């Protein structure tokens, strides 16, 4: 064909769609090639879930067949390829990606193979030259590590592999009874799932840890108080406070009073000043007396309140989000901790307690969250508040000192300390009124048992309350708390003796003894706090000294060579070792760092360093 004929054929008329045909066909061919390659070389991607799978995640439903054990046509894999002890298990190759040339560069060869785990089950793996790649999801579950694929700023991805999921909290400074309690400024006790609510009667958490009905748990209450005390110390910005009503002054612009109701200032002899008296129906079917707040930033509400007989205070809030909701938090003269229905959440403030003057400090966000969980149960999503609209008053009562603030840490701390004063019994203990079953139910503590950890936490709380207020009642209660430390567990105390020699203060005073490590160290810190404040008390000096001696002698018993044990049930109960979860292991480390800051013996710093290395995957040497 001549050049003219070729040019003529190129200039001939074509349908407009024809010029798109070649690119489209090229794209289709590329997709087909990609699909074939993917089916061939991508047998299974390496997964990186954030949670652990169960133990049977990679098990196959059928036993291993003869054709999977060895095939003459399969490539021989020696023990160096798959690891020690794996050489005798030959896996039949499934798929293989042949080596190809791409611009003069050689592409890696992958082969899909089966990894035979402990002569028990297979998982899909991938072999590249002499290296075998195992799915991270299997490694994660098998070795109890954690990790996830994370996006980088440059658009790339990286696998963030962590041997321990729990962070070690370092000390800011040397431990002091006046200072932050360990790392408790990081604690948010009241938002825990096992906290039913913050009691309207006492202002402290109500636990559901070992019983759904809700009960007061001294350890949890002390941690609530110590966390708020610690937050108060480290907060660099002073809490913002807006006074809404003070000294009984009635600003009529803020009040809406329905017909038949009254609001006015009166002199109150008990308080020695002016307060606001209100009279209205108790019925929820009638409008309440409304006091406007319109607060959009600070959601801690404080007020002084007293009813003549029965009554209620209701807080109206609006939630954020696309579907904004109006919720009503009602604090009523009832002994029920919390209830909810419709868009109403009820907190009992005591059937009798509501008839005396009390100061209430309520974190409205927490109260909404706890009520929302009851209202929506499985459909629950965290509710964020956009504003507090105002409050409604029903019944006959008196109110004063209404304020909103960004926080009220010291009020919440003293709520815990004051609860300790009321809840302490004649034996100096804080009884735990719920059954505790331990070691798969083989031992049981009936309601009324003491805990050395609770005693120690209470001392740490009360000594700080004493230092803050200079009120002797807090120190006296802390000293009374020493009594159970000298009473053996079998006699309703917390004292156990290890090997007839070492005194140990039991978090769970069972028979036989458990010797829980973290609870014992918390009790030592409580004794140290009291020892620091009451240096002339010989009992606390003796108890702390003998406990410290026991810890130094027994600490190595908790070292597994790769972590720690939670207790010594494998010694005292002939049960398997109770390995400490990483969050308990890192608590052990932080506790040792605290002791290292106040005691000269190097054992605490040495053990803390070794146990820290375990969180990075290091193990002790073997023979």
**The pLDDT of residue 317:** 96
**The pLDDT of residue 97:** 54
Instruction: State the pLDDT confidence band at 379, using cuts at 50, 70 and 90.
Output: low
Instruction: State the pLDDT confidence band at 439, using cuts at 50, 70 and 90.
Output: confident
User: What single-letter DSSP state applies at residue 179?
Assistant: S
Sequence-ordered list of residues with C-beta below 8 angstroms from that of 8, at least 6 positions apart, any chain = none
Asked whether residue 542 carries a pLDDT value surpassing 70, the answer given is yes
How far is CA 421 from its chain centroid?
A: 27
CA dihedral for 459, 463, 468, 472, sign (positive or negative): positive
How far is CA 92 from its chain centroid?
A: 46
**The pLDDT of residue 591:** 98
Mean pLDDT of 35-64: 37
**CATH fold of 240-406, please?**
Jelly Rolls (2.60.120)
Residue 223 and residue 187 in contact, taking contact as beta carbons nearer than 8 Å: yes
- The overall average pLDDT reported for the chain is 85
For the chain, what are the domain ranges?
66-162, 184-195+207-232+412-550, 240-406
Render pLDDT for 261-297 as a digit per residue (tens, 0 to 9).
999 999 999 898 999 999 999 999 899 999 999 999 9
- Give the 3-state DSSP-derived string for 237-292, with helices as H, strands as E and coil as C: CCCCEEEEECCCCCCHHHEECCCCCEEEEEEECCCCEEEEEEECCCCCCCCCEEEE
Measured in degrees and rounded to the nearest 5, phi and psi for residue 155 equal 95, -10
User: What single-letter DSSP state applies at residue 198?
Assistant: E
Alpha carbon distance 349, 304 (integer Å) = 12
Render pLDDT for 177-209 as a digit per residue (tens, 0 to 9).
999 999 999 999 999 999 999 999 999 999 999
Which percentage of the chain shows pLDDT scores above 90? 76
Enter the tokens of residue 264.
């006015």
Closest residue by Cα to residue 214 from 355, 446, 441, 370? 370
Render pLDDT for 394-406 as a digit per residue (tens, 0 to 9).
999 999 999 999 9
Residue 463 and residue 475 in contact, taking contact as beta carbons nearer than 8 Å: yes
What's the pTM? 0.82
Mean pLDDT of 491-499: 97
Strand extents, DSSP E, 446-509? 495-498, 502-505
DSSP H helices in 171-254: 218-234
**The pLDDT of residue 284:** 92
More confident: 361 or 101: 361
DSSP string, 104-149: TEEPPP-EEEEEEETTTEEEEEEEETTEEE--HHHHHHHTT-EEEE
Render pLDDT for 544-569 as a digit per residue (tens, 0 to 9).
999 999 999 999 999 999 999 999 99
**The pLDDT of residue 101:** 54
Instruction: State the pLDDT confidence band at 322, using cuts at 50, 70 and 90.
Output: confident
Closest residue by Cα to residue 587 from 561, 558, 549? 558
Q: Which of 102-106, 455-459, 502-506 has the lowest mean pLDDT?
A: 102-106
CA dihedral for 571, 581, 117, 130, sign (positive or negative): negative
Q: Tell the burial category of 16 from Cβ atoms under 10 Å away from its Cβ (0-12, 13-18, 19+).
A: exposed
Q: Which of 16-25, 226-235, 576-585 has the lowest mean pLDDT?
A: 16-25
If phi > 0 it is left, if psi is from -120 to 50 it is alpha, else beta; for residue 383 that is: beta
Radius of gyration of the chain (CA): 34
Closest residue by Cα to residue 127 from 160, 94, 84? 94
Alpha carbon distance 383, 469 (integer Å) = 36
Strand partners, 393: 289, 313
Instruction: State the pLDDT confidence band at 212, using cuts at 50, 70 and 90.
Output: confident
**The pLDDT of residue 300:** 97
**The pLDDT of residue 181:** 97
State the chain's maximal CA–CA distance in angstroms.
120
Render pLDDT for 104-135 as a digit per residue (tens, 0 to 9).
555 667 899 999 999 999 999 999 988 999 99
**The pLDDT of residue 109:** 79
Residue 162 and residue 148 in contact, taking contact as beta carbons nearer than 8 Å: no
Asked whether residue 613 carries a pLDDT value surpassing 80, the answer given is yes
Enter the tokens of residue 7.
């040019």
Q: Give the CA dihedral 195, 198, 199, 202, nearest 10 degrees.
A: 120
Q: Which residue has the tokens 């907060």?
A: 235
Alpha carbon distance 6, 4 (integer Å) = 5
Strand partners, 268: 273
Alpha carbon distance 142, 160 (integer Å) = 17
């Amino acid at each position: 064909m001549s050049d003219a004929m070729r040019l003529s054929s190129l200039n001939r008329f074509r349908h407009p769609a024809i010029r798109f045909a070649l690119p489209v066909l090229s794209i289709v061919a590329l997709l087909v090639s990609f699909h074939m390659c993917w089916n061939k070389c991508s047998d299974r991607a390496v997964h990186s879930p954030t949670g652990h799978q169960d133990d049977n995640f990679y098990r196959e439903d059928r036993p291993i067949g003869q054709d999977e054990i060895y095939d003459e046509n399969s490539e021989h894999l020696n023990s160096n390829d798959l690891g020690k002890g794996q050489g005798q298990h030959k896996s039949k190759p499934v798929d293989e990606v042949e080596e190809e040339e791409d611009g003069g560069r050689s592409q890696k060869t992958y082969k899909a193979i089966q990894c035979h785990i402990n002569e028990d089950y297979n998982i899909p793996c991938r072999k590249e030259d002499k290296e075998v790649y195992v799915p991270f999801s299997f490694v994660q579950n098998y070795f109890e590590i954690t990790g996830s694929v994370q996006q980088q700023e440059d658009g790339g991805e990286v696998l963030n592999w962590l041997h321990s999921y729990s962070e070690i909290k370092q000390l800011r400074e040397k431990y002091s009874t006046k200072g932050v309690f360990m790392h408790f400024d990081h604690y948010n006790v009241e938002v825990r799932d096992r906290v039913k609510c913050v009691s309207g009667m006492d202002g402290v958490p109500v636990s559901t840890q070992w019983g759904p009905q809700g009960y007061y748990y001294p350890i949890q209450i002390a941690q609530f108080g110590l966390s708020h005390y610690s937050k108060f110390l480290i907060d660099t910005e002073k809490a913002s406070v807006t006074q809404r009503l003070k000294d009984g002054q009635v600003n009529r612009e803020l009040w809406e009073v329905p017909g038949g109701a009254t609001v006015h200032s009166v002199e109150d002899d008990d308080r020695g000043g002016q307060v606001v008296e209100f009279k209205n129906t108790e019925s929820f079917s009638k409008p309440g007396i409304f006091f406007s707040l319109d607060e959009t930033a600070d959601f801690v509400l404080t007020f002084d309140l007293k009813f003549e007989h029965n009554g209620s205070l209701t807080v109206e809030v609006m939630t954020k989000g696309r579907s904004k909701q109006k919720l009503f938090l009602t604090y009523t003269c009832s002994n029920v901790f919390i209830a909810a229905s419709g868009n109403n959440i009820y907190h009992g403030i005591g059937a009798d307690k509501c008839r005396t003057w009390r100061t209430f400090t309520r974190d409205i966000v927490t109260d909404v969250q706890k009520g929302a969980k009851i209202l929506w149960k499985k459909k629950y999503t965290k509710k964020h508040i956009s504003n507090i609209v105002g409050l409604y008053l029903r019944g006959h009562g008196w109110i004063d000192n209404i304020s909103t603030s960004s926080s009220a840490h010291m009020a919440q701390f003293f709520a815990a300390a004051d609860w300790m004063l009321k809840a302490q019994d004649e034996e100096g203990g804080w009884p735990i009124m719920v059954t505790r079953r331990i070691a798969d139910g083989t031992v049981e503590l009936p309601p009324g048992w003491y805990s050395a950890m609770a005693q120690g936490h209470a001392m740490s709380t009360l000594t700080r309350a004493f230092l803050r207020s200079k009120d002797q009642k807090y120190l006296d209660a802390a000293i009374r708390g020493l009594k159970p430390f000298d009473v053996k567990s079998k006699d309703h105390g917390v004292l156990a003796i290890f090997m007839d020699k070492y005194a140990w203060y039991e978090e769970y005073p069972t028979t036989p003894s458990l010797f829980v490590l973290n609870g014992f160290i918390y009790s030592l810190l409580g004794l140290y706090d009291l020892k620091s404040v009451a240096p002339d008390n010989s009992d606390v000096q003796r108890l702390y000294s003998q406990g410290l001696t026991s810890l130094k002698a027994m600490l190595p018993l908790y070292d597994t060579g790769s972590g720690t044990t939670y207790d010594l049930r494998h010694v005292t109960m002939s049960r398997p070792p109770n390995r400490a979860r990483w969050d308990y292991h890192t608590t052990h480390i932080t506790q040792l760092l605290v002791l290292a800051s106040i005691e000269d013996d190097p054992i605490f710093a040495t053990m803390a360093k070794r146990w820290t290395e375990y969180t990075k995957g290091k193990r002790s040497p073997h023979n």
